[in-house]
Structure 1
Amino acid sequence: MSNQRINFEYCDDLIKKFEEVIKKPITKKTSVYYTGVDLGTACVVLAVLDENYKPVAGAYRYADVVRDGMVVDYIGAVRLVRELKEEIEGKLNTELIYAAAAIPPGTDTLDSGAIKNVVQAAGFELTCLLDEPTAANAVLKIENGAVVDIGGGTTGISILKDGKVVHVVDEATGGTHFSLVISGAYKIDFSKADKFKRDNKNHKEILPILKPVVEKVASIITNNIRNYSVDEISLVGGTCCLTGIEGIIEKSTGIYTHKPKNPMFVTPLGIALSCTQDIIE
């Protein structure tokens, strides 16, 4: 358990530095920039690292170009990634060339081409395409356990043994479903419900309302790890920013569950850490 705390300290420190450079980029020149492009259902994030894989800049924007892990607005996705790219390039006064991206586990035959095309059409040279929970583990550095990436539309699970991924799966149920429940409970439209959900001042109030959906996520986790020896669950993804979500999942699964201080940026940073200069054709 103590080893896991050390890993989370590294993760939290990396995220803290990333949050700082989003507000104030580091403009000192580096020989190369590595970018992680995270096309999420609710939010698109670009994380930029220097030659030593340290955060230097970043940008994000809430959008509706991906649903349930699938690109549904190709033109909108390209435009958004290009805009974020140009925004960061203007701040760094340089061109961003190399980028990595990620997809929900198990969807490579369905959507990897779309993700690849979006990144390339936005002006990047794509160097790596990996699944989201595996990308997250580049930051978490978990040897044994399960990484659960709860995004806007789906929950991705990656089970690790001795630092290697032995099983990945992605199932519907995520932040979109949380927002739909809030929309119905408060009788407000979806966009307002989504915004209400993201404000942590409302989390204590909405947690009891969302408990059945969180328990549904927990049942997905339980069903997919039952054949593996999993002693702990690490939560990442924007939906995991919900205060108290880890307690419900731990109680439902019976397995120790925890999360970084800001789980929203774990995956994009992991994607960036996986970026190289070896271009995918």
Structure 2
Amino acid sequence: MKEYIEECNQFVAEFEETIQKPKLHPSSIYYTGVDLGTACIVLAVLDENYQPVAGAYRYADVVRDGMIVDYIGAVEIVRELKAELEEKLGTELVYAAASLPPGTDELDGGAIKNVVQSAGFELTNLLDEPTAANQLLKVTEGAVVDIGGGTTGISILENSEVVKIADEATGGTHLSLVIAGSYKCSFQEAETYKHDPKNHDELLVTLKPVIEKISSIIVQQTEGYEIPAIYLVGGTACLKNIEQIIQKSTGIKTYKPVNPMFITPLGIALSCTNQLIG
């Protein structure tokens, strides 16, 4: 699996470069991945060969626990990011795919679809977040764990097939609440403090109980399955050394790509086509 992680890291590195400097070579079509996260909305754009050409993101508070709570705000942000990328690329972005936490399709799938379409995209795919992430990770055996702002999504794979998906309401929001309580600061101040990598070593001691809670969720949801490895993605997985605590708590080898925040939006983009869904 090491070679896949290295390929994944290279793909993410190329995408990160395009956020600062979009690639302006001609392409007959562009594919966009729209990731409506609890803490951050990310748009990733790929060319006709499914290679990164542009990207943009914005921290936002329009989704909570995997559910859209500010529909108008979500549409406005996606529309603004879309316009920003279109101006940089000098072309219209037509097709997009999106994702949602596992098991929330009936509750919120329609809302996510409407946000993407109301922002001006033609929606071509809608899939669960861990499965989307695996479009880039290419895990054949193991568990893809997407630790987002509000929830932890788990996708278990056997012989390259998804055999189980699950979602639990524990994620980055809970880490920030613990920080706010421990440091006697506001939730927003805790979020800002958490996002700074310089504070991660210090925070790890405070946050260890919550990370162990996430580990117990992984153990519970993977019980009865042969899990050779865990693969972490999602914005909360950016916390330095979180993979070490999860590996120790679960007893399962745990891998984390270089920037796990961008794995899911890039996987969403890789699942995008020019074929509209109903």
Aligned AA (1:245) = I
Partner deviation per Cα, 1:175-197 (whole Å, 9 max, x = no partner)? 00000100111111011100100
Q: How much has 1:201 moved relative to structure 2?
A: 0.4
TM-score normalised over the length of structure 1: 0.98
CA shift digits 1:49-105 (9 cap, x unpaired): 000000000000000000000000000000000000000000001000000000001
> What is aligned with 2:198?
201
Question: How far does the alpha carbon of each residue in 1:218-270 deviate from its partner, in whole angstroms, 9 at most, with x for none?
Answer: 00000000111101000000000000101111111110111001100000000
1:212 to 209, 213, 220: 209
Q: Note the C-alpha offset of 1:29.
A: 1.7
Structure 1 consecutive aligned stretches of length 4 or more whose deviation exceeds 4 Å:
none
> 1:85 pairs with 59, 62, 82, which one?
82
Q: Which of 59, 63, 81 matches 2:56?
A: 59
The alignment covers a number of residue pairs equal to: 278
- What amino acid maps onto 2:168 in structure 1? E
| Distance in 1 separating the partners of 2:51 and 2:254 | 28
Could you tell me how far 1:151 is from its partner in structure 2?
Answer: 0.1
* Mapped partners of 1:242, 1:134: distance in 2: 22
Question: What CA distance in whole angstroms lies between the structure 1 residues aligned with 2:207 and 2:275?
Answer: 43
In 2, the alpha carbon distance for the partners of 1:78 and 1:50 equals 24
TM-score by length of 2: 0.99
Structure 1 partner of 2:188: 191
Whether 2:78 is the aligned partner of 1:49: answer no
Matched, 1:140 2:137: yes
Q: Secondary structure at the match of 1:196?
A: helix
Q: Is 1:128 matched with 2:125?
A: yes
Quick one: distance in 2 between partners of 1:45 and 1:29? 23
Distance 1:120 1:227 in 2: 40
Q: Give the match's secondary structure for 2:4.
A: helix
The 5 Å alignment of 1:1-281 reads 4-281=1-278
* AA matched with 2:174: H
Q: Which amino acid aligns with 1:271?
A: I
Distance (whole Å) between structure 2 residues aligned to residue 27 and residue 258 of structure 1: 33
What amino acid is aligned across from residue 114 of structure 1 in structure 2? A
Equivalent residue letter for 1:65? V
Instruction: Please give the root-mean-square deviation of Cα atoms over the aligned residues, in Å.
Output: 0.4
Residues in 1 aligned to 2:12 and 2:171: alpha-carbon distance in whole angstroms: 22
Tell me, which stretches of 5 or more residues in structure 1 are unaligned? none
